[in-house]
Amino acid sequence: MTNKKSGGLGRGLSSILPDTKEFEVSNTVTAAISTIPLDKIEANPYQPRKEFAPEALEELAQSIRQQGVITPVTVRKMPDGTYQLIAGERRCRASQLAGLMEVPAYVRVATDNQMMEMALVENIQRENLNAMEVALAYKALIEECRLTHDQLSEKVGKNRSTITNYLRLLNLPAETQLALSNDQISMAHARALAGVEDVTLHLEILHAIIDRHLSVHQAEEMAKNAKKKPVVAVKKRGELPAVHAAAQSRLKDYLQSSVEIKRSQRGKGSLTILFNSDSDFDRIMSLLETKGGK
C-alpha cells in the first residue's frame, strides 16, 4: 500500500513513521523500506569518503552486535536484482564485521544523476567527512549535477560563503591538500594559507604549522606578514668562477672524494679534500703524489 505524502519529505528520511512501508519522494523518485542481504549490495561509486578508520568501524560493529542497525542504509535497485548504495557504506562495512547477513534499507528508484545527488548530499549531511572530502563532494554536485552555488547552498543547508571557502581548498597546492586530508592542519589553517599565493612562502608556512604546531592565529600572522613582504630572489653568494668550478669537478672525479673550493671576490680561497679514514687519506695522498710526480 502506498502512503503518499503531500509536499515531499524535505531533506531527509527522519520524518518517516516507523510503520511506513512505501512512500513517494517526488514525481520520479520512490522509496520503500526492506531488508537486503549484504552480499547483494554494491559499493557506491559516488561515495565521497575514501577511507574508513578501522577503530571507528570496530566500535560501530560492536554497537551493531548489541543493538542492531538502528538507521537503515539507503540503496537503489539495479536491473540485475542487486542493490547499489546511495548512503550507508560505513554501516554496511560495520555490519559485515559484526557478522550480519542482511541490513534494513530504504530502497529508492532513481536515475544516475538523482543517485549521485542523493548520495553526496546525504553523506555530506550525515558523515564525518574531512574538509577535502566535503570540498570534492561540493565540486561534484556543482559539476555533475549542474547545481548553482545557491541551489547547492539550499540542498546542503550551508550558506554560500561556507561553500565558497570549501571550494577554495581545491586551489591549494597538493601538499597542503594532503596535510588537510591527514588532519595535520585544520580547515582554519588552510584558510589562512589560501591567502598566500607565492608557492615557496606558502609551503614554508605550511611546514612551520606542522613542525612547530602553530595555532591558527600564529598561522594567520605569518600569512599576513608574508603578503606584506615582496618576493625577492636571493642572490647566491660565493659562486665559483667557471674555471674553479671545472677544477673542483675534475678533482672530485680523480680523487673519488668530496672536494670543496671556496674563493673570495679578491681571489683568495681554500681547497678542502675530505677523507673517511686513515686508509682513505693514504689513498688520496698516493693519488696526489703520483699526479705530482708526473
Count of Cβ atoms closer than 10 Å to residue 236 Cβ: 6
Any catalytic annotation for residue 154?
no
Cell numbers given for 2: 502506498
* Active-site residue (options: 24, 42, 55, 89): 89
| Residues noted as catalytic | 89
